[in-house]
Structure 1
Amino acid sequence: MQHCGLYINYFFLSEKENLCLYGFPSEQWEVNLPAEEVPPELPEPVLGINFARDGMQEKDWLSLVAVHSDAWLLAIAFYFGARFGFDKADRKRLFNMINEVPTIFEVVTGAAKKQVKEKSSVSNHSGSKSKSNSKARAPEPQGRQQKALQAKDEDDELDEQEDDEHGETLCGACGEHYGTDEFWICCDICEKWFHGKCVKITPARAEHIKQYKCPSCSNKRTRP
């Protein structure tokens, strides 16, 4: 949407036909004629976006363009969700992903920057508050401290054992060691572990797999 300002004079030419504002995965935007086929294959953006209402200021007009563009992007997202057979959980995940980024309207009006500043100030305030609370906390009895230390040592030992077990695990595809920050999946047939990226399985896709077969087990044919 940041490139829309370059097209303002072009938009306001009344002799132009009714145009639409299209967005592309490359984050580029283009003003063009609508699709000729009826109905179109994809949801179409608002027609006649290049005509501003009489007496409308440039800022208000750009905000209106942004609102229509947001509505079109939402229509595109849930159109593909329907085409790919998204269920309730997938649609909720898609909606949450959309909400993690600011809308075009928020970027154009400057509300996105304001939200970032507010979040940073809130996080700083909560951080300073937690520090002050930690300083004001009264010392615990010695017996309670010893129990807490013992429990912590036991947890650390369990974590070390678990890390040692995973550290010895090798990916059945690339042969690399297990990494705590990587997604792994186990084959239910040969019980070998694989990097998700090596077998092209994501955590979201793994949730819908009842029994996973690695590529090697999937390619094995039953002997007569």
Structure 2
Amino acid sequence: MRLTHFAQALTLILLCVTGYLAWEGQQEIKGLKKERDFERQQRLAEQTASPAQESLIPLPTAATSITPPPTPGTIASPEPRPEELMAGASTLPGGGLTVPKSVMEAEAQGISTNTLTPLQKMVLAAQPVAKIKTVVREQGFIIIDAGSAQGIAKGQKYEIRRANAVLGKVTVTDSVEATEAVADLDFASIPSGVTLEPGDELIAPVAR
């Protein structure tokens, strides 16, 4: 009987030790996960405070063209009329030409472009869901300017649009706040040589 009692006590002690070791392992895993989440949030804050140089949008420079005066004895060729430069384009007072800033604006003015494929038209017509605020290519994610208040949720997939082109795909992670969220980049969907920039828009996936 004493041996039986001793064996039962030893078994109970082993069960207690095993349970304690398992609990301690779970606590250590939780601590590591919290530490990783804190480091990621800290990196996000640093990237938001000082965006990478390559993520800044360069300002466009206006190129000016100077027409030399006609040489004495030669007849200057007449200036082309605005309607010859672009049929259907509107003109400013004094004969200046208003150049459309987008294909949609051009078509609204009655200017036929005939350059877009059906897929490009679908991409161009898609309503934007959000815009890129920061690109962290080294870590493989972006920060967007919409969050749970705009219906953004973990696991949602979007495409990145610039004009009428799709530049890549992203998936929203669990870092979703009220007015911003984090999305992981799908590098396999980004064409070689393409660089994502702040201001690029997120749209729902377009059916192919």
Query: TM-score, normalization: structure 2?
Result: 0.24
More strand by share: 2
Larger Rg: 2
Q: Which has the higher contact order (CA 8 A, sep 6+)?
A: 2
More helix by share: 1
